[in-house]
Amino acid sequence: MRGDRDGLIAQLRRPPGGRDARIMLLAQCVDRTGTGVWAAASVLYFTFVSRLDARQLGLLLGVGAIAGIAGSPLAGRAAERLSVRALLIGCHLLRLGTMLLLLVADDFAALLSVVALTCLGERAAKTLEMLFATRVAGERRSTYQALFRSVANAGYAIGAGIAALGLGVGTANAYRALILANALSFVLAAALVWRTREPVGHGLVVAQNDSSTPGEPSSAPSPWRDHGYLLFVLLDIPMNLDDSVLNVGLPLWLVHHTSAPHAVVPAFLVVNTVLVVVLQLRVSARAEGARGAAAAVGWYGMTFLACCLVLATATGGRAWSASFAMLGAAILVTLAELLRSVSSWELAVSLAPPRARASYLGVAGMSQSVQKSVGPLLLTGAVMTAGPAGWLALGAVVTGLSLVQRRTGLRRLATLAGPAAPRQAAGAARVASRADQS
């Protein structure tokens, strides 16, 4: 509960992991500031400067999303054999190169390649940051994650503000200046990572069995053959749908199905940013540890269901009531996001065998990338097409899957604990069973 007692500023000054963690948090803030610049300007850049039509733009974003899916497992596999720090610097420099190439790419095929490499590097960098934090923060990784989420959201907000200046000018050179601003963020982030020290566990992190020959590493378990962990990753995909609801579902539902004024849409991001910065540490402090994360999964489902219920009822009434309903939905989906950020990362680490954690975390990172690819299509093609009933069905399904995720997570935790704590495992299973029946 330490993260709850200490304030955000105090925790940022003394983060779990000390000096290296503090530098890495600053690097992540700089990186997310540049990402915020590019996220706000990219679609308009491709539309007005690169002159892409809607079909080409959709294909470009789709290819980038698919490339991002591959970035996580590739980074996790490489981190078992190479320095996490060096790999992360390489990802920043890769994205620096692709941003500069955007300035000279003048045909669609070249843009496809550049965007694919950018997304692959971005997803790989996030996985490596996750692994760095896992090693440097140790058992206090949930506090580090809360601090990261706070500084990342602040960075995104700053980046969006910078982008607004360039978008206000609206010229091609202004758009190119925003690209250069994003590129500069990669240079600064790489320089900051260079100042850190390699966390404990760098290089080949596969542990040795007692029966293995001295000097010869034992074979590490593969996440691709671990059906229990793959089930966790599969169930984690719908546990990330809050991202698509916030960024796609809420704006489109407001515009096409409610009487709320369009000016409410920007408030969704403001509400989300403020709540994450203010509440992330407190939520993380109340869901510490693997079992706390498993409990947070169940609360995620209930909060997500509440958001869907509000959205389903927001279609009637006047503009003011619809506005309040949509803002309430934004608050609820942000609370779901806070719970998910605790549960998803902590369980990804805790459910992985320590001697192959890097490759396992790489596979776990795919869930967010897959959700970003299929989530918007699910919302626009099925949920919103069905109207309010679609939101009710989505909420019910996600809530049910969250309970399944919690139960399977507790069972795997009991299995990993081994025979040393059978009564504790049985007690956890009974608690989960009673909660599911209530």
Report pLDDT for 345: 84
Amino acid present at 339: L
CA-to-CA distance for 152 and 92, rounded, in angstroms? 16
CA-to-CA distance for 47 and 55, rounded, in angstroms? 11
Residue 64 C-alpha from the chain's centroid = 16
Report pLDDT for 396: 97
Q: Is 368 exposed, middle or buried (0-12, 13-18, 19+ CB in 10 A)?
A: buried
CA-to-CA distance for 372 and 61, rounded, in angstroms? 10
Residue 427 C-alpha from the chain's centroid = 32
- CA separation, residue 278 to residues 8, 75, 146 (Å): 8, 31, 10
Report pLDDT for 436: 47
Half-sphere exposure of 3 (CA within 13 A, CB side): 27
Q: Tokens 């459910």 — which residue?
A: 351
Report pLDDT for 227: 92
Report pLDDT for 189: 96
pLDDT per residue rounded down to tens, the chain (438 residues): 444 445 777 777 888 888 999 999 999 999 999 998 998 888 888 888 988 887 888 788 888 888 989 999 999 989 888 899 999 999 999 999 999 999 999 889 999 999 999 999 999 999 999 889 888 887 788 788 888 888 988 898 898 889 888 888 889 999 999 999 999 999 999 999 999 988 765 443 433 333 344 444 456 788 898 999 999 999 999 999 999 999 889 988 998 889 888 888 878 888 888 898 888 888 887 877 888 889 999 999 999 999 999 999 998 778 889 999 999 999 999 999 999 988 888 899 889 888 888 889 899 989 988 998 888 889 988 999 999 999 999 999 999 999 999 999 999 988 887 654 444 444 444 534 444 444
Amino acid present at 135: R
Select from 368, 344, 341 the least CA-distant residue to 68: 368
Residue 65 gets the label, from left (phi > 0), alpha (psi -120 to 50) or beta, of alpha
Select from 182, 187, 188, 185 the least CA-distant residue to 102: 182
- CA separation, residue 426 to residues 78, 190, 331, 415 (Å): 37, 47, 36, 11
> Can you read off the two tokens belonging to residue 143?
């506090």
CA-to-CA distance for 431 and 438, rounded, in angstroms? 11
> Can you read off the two tokens belonging to residue 148?
């990261």
Which helix (H) or strand (E) is 11 found in, with range?
helix 8-13
Report pLDDT for 6: 59
CA-to-CA distance for 35 and 185, rounded, in angstroms? 8
CA-to-CA distance for 180 and 411, rounded, in angstroms? 49
Digit-coded pLDDT (tens) for 396-410: 999 999 999 999 999
Helix, strand, coil fractions of the chain, as percent rounded to 5: 85, 0, 15
SS3 state at 55: helix
Report pLDDT for 435: 42
- CA separation, residue 1 to residues 339, 344, 373 (Å): 16, 19, 36
Digit-coded pLDDT (tens) for 68-86: 899 999 999 898 888 999 9
400 Cβ contact list (under 8 Å, min separation 6): 301
Are 25 and 151 spatial neighbours (Cβ–Cβ below 8 Å)? yes
Half-sphere exposure of 415 (CA within 13 A, CB side): 11
Longest dimension (CA), the chain: 74
Report pLDDT for 407: 94
Report pLDDT for 329: 95
DSSP 195: T
